[in-house]
Amino acid sequence: MSDTEPIGPATCVLVSGGSRGLGLTIVRSVLDKGAKVAAFARTVTPGMTELAETYPDRVFVGSVDATDAAAATRFIKDAAAHLGPIDALVNNAAIGQDSLHVHTSPERIDAIISTNLTAPLVLTRAVLRHIMSRGGRGRVVNVTSICAQRGYAGLVAYSATKGGLDAATRALAREMHGRVLVNSVAPGFFASEMSSVLGPNQLDTITRRTPSGRLVEPANVVPVVEMLLFADTNVNGQVIVLDGGGGI
């Protein structure tokens, strides 16, 4: 197949951080689209277990610390043995931040960077090597954040990791020369996300200043992730912001 031909829809998607919230919603949406899905998280939740038991031939789940490169590589190998070749990745696993930069310990900064930036870069490398080893083509979707583009107090290290992942998205899209489509989805604040940092008053302020008048929900993000995984759009190297127009 020529690299100039369209890349087909994903058939087997690996989702990191697929235990709950947006990650679990993405896992379910991949199944609804008829594809297979491998999902890992630090803790396998009842929701993941239920899907694996309901769709034993289409779902593979496991407990993996995203920062453990060896464990992540083993998971890819085991998932491919169970489901067949993986041809898409959704980097969703991340941890938040709830402190001003001057009050954030070096150890916490390192943990945020390791989980939110180093781990997805290493996982992406492993999945790309898996795809290329069989002469395949594929898709990568990075879940980042509006924090990469707009400043919010208490989220300095978190914002830096998401900005770094957006930059990596653009560079990797060029590096793959059309063999793999690489894009980011950058949601605004979820109603339940990072509220401990912003507090209800700040969340209310953000909501009032958002032209759509509401915060982002996982249901708003999933259709865009589905498009990037399954549709022939020729979208590549882009960061798609989903924040109700708050950034305009």
Alpha-carbon span 193 to 247, nearest angstrom: 18
Query: 35-49, 73-87, 184-198, 210-224: which has the minimum mean pLDDT?
Result: 184-198
Alpha helices in the chain (DSSP H): 21-32, 46-54, 69-83, 106-113, 119-133, 156-175, 195-209, 218-230
How far is residue 64 CA from its own chain's centroid? Answer: 15
* Mean pLDDT, the chain, integer: 92
Structure tokens at 24: 């679990």
pLDDT at 1: 44
Higher pLDDT, 220 or 212: 220
- pLDDT band per the 50, 70, 90 thresholds, residue 194: very low
pLDDT at 5: 85
Model pTM?
Answer: 0.93
pLDDT at 197: 59
pLDDT at 244: 78
- pLDDT band per the 50, 70, 90 thresholds, residue 196: low
Q: Is pLDDT of 225 > 90? A: yes
Higher pLDDT, 75 or 194: 75
- pLDDT band per the 50, 70, 90 thresholds, residue 209: confident
- pLDDT band per the 50, 70, 90 thresholds, residue 247: low
Q: Is pLDDT of 195 > 60? A: no
Share of the chain above pLDDT 70, in %: 93
How far is residue 76 CA from its own chain's centroid? Answer: 16
pLDDT digits (tens, 9 = 90+) for 70-87: 999 999 999 999 999 999
Task: Name every residue whose Cβ is closer than 8 Å to that of residue 230 and which is 6 or more positions away in sequence.
Answer: 9, 10, 33, 35
Q: Which of 158, 189, 190, 230 is catalytic?
A: 158
What residue ranges define each of the domains in the chain, with the CATH number in brackets? 12-242 (3.40.50.720)
pLDDT digits (tens, 9 = 90+) for 147-172: 999 888 889 999 999 999 999 999 99
Is 152 among the residues known to form the active site?
A: no
- pLDDT band per the 50, 70, 90 thresholds, residue 204: confident
Q: Nearest 5 degrees, angle CA 118-CA 122-CA 124?
A: 120
Q: Is pLDDT of 22 > 80? A: yes
pLDDT at 199: 64
